[in-house]
Amino acid sequence: MATQHDIALTRALAELPGPLPSSGVIHVAIPHASRFTIVGNHLTQHAELSLVAIGIGVHIQSLPTGSEVGIKALASRFTEGETRIAAALRELEAHGYLHRTRVRLANGRLVTRTVFCNQPGAALRGGTAVTPVPLVAPAPVPAPAPLVAPAPVLVVAAPAPTPPPSPSPEPTPVPEESHPPVRVPSRTAPKVARRPLPRPRELTPELRQTASAILAGLRSHAKELVLSEDDVEALVPGVAAWLERDAHPDTIRHALTTELPQPPKHPAKIVKHRLTVLLPPPLPGAQELAPVRRALVIPLQNCDGCDRAFRATAPGHCRGCRNEPTVTAA
């Protein structure tokens, strides 16, 4: 069996156009006739999603509408635990692929409604909702077409006896594709630019020393996070930015060592990603926390002498009426 498989693979590679690359993957692409799902490269090659999140996203997109995609349902299907599956679902939800809302049914029961978007950000175009399409490729359904002359049909099965021709043959309808052709996305889709590592306003010697100590001591809290000296030197500005924003060292360690992927293949990349996307905002100062002072508005009063309007805190006379006796006496 292995020899036949190798021979078939060799023949398939020989039919590929152009010279084969010396390294890297070689695609033997055979078109699917049934049971296939179209998945965008923006999901399969996402720069910020983990491999578990990408796999679960592709799996959910291949399921028919109404399938159970909760944490327990996915954990019973795959070998990953509930913690990793829950973290992957949160990643898909953060990037707009997954939407989970609580809705109340007609009988008063609260349920979780899960919606998966194959193209985040494109659910609404121009204020008009886009009609959702089924996630599983449906079988082509023949649609009625204008009557045309009969055309020859290629039959793969065993030949059947041909009926005698009728004196006046009626034209037979020719089935047409009910769905427009699907555009296959390019393999060289543009990649989303990654956010740079945060940096402090001023990298003082005290910040550098504290940041280096935090990074070097991560392996004491998570044995998987073993960083080299070059990695520590490159990640020092990111930790210094956290310290500059008054983040406690224990807070930084907890953010960098909680719920790590198993096994972590690139510890330095994991630390850099978390330092970048989990950066807390600066603490508000005294001015931001001070109560807003409202300007004092002096009300309008009617003068008791001339009935003109003037601003004062209490009823009385306007300035002209108050100065009138003095002018008369002069």
Q: What is the pLDDT of residues 229-277, one digit of tens each?
A: 999 999 999 999 999 988 999 999 999 998 888 877 888 999 999 999 9
Q: Check residue 235 and give its pLDDT.
A: 94
Q: What's the pTM value of the predicted model, to 2 decimals?
A: 0.37
Query: Residue 98's beta-bridge partner residues?
Result: 116
Q: From the CB of residue 253, how many other CB atoms can be counted at a distance below 10 Å? A: 18
Q: What is the mean pLDDT of the chain?
A: 77
Q: Check residue 212 and give its pLDDT.
A: 92
Tokens of 205: 């010697």
Give CA separation, 197 vs 52, 261, 281, 287, in Å: 24, 21, 15, 29
pLDDT over 90 at 210, yes or no:
yes
Q: Check residue 330 and give its pLDDT.
A: 41
pLDDT over 70 at 2, yes or no:
no
Q: From the CB of residue 98, how many other CB atoms can be counted at a distance below 10 Å? A: 22
Q: Check residue 123 and give its pLDDT.
A: 58
For the four alpha carbons of 97, 98, 103 and 107, in that order, the dihedral sign comes to: positive
Lowest mean pLDDT among 11-25, 83-97, 162-176, 213-227: 162-176
Which regions of 146-189 does DSSP assign to beta strands (E)?
A: none
- Cβ neighbours for 171, distance < 8 A, ≥ 6 positions apart: 147, 148, 149, 150
d(C-alpha 150, C-alpha 33), whole Å = 26
Tokens of 117: 């978007």
Read off the pLDDT of residues 269-318 as tens digits, 9 standing for 90 and up. Answer: 999 999 999 999 888 776 667 666 777 788 888 888 888 888 888 888 88
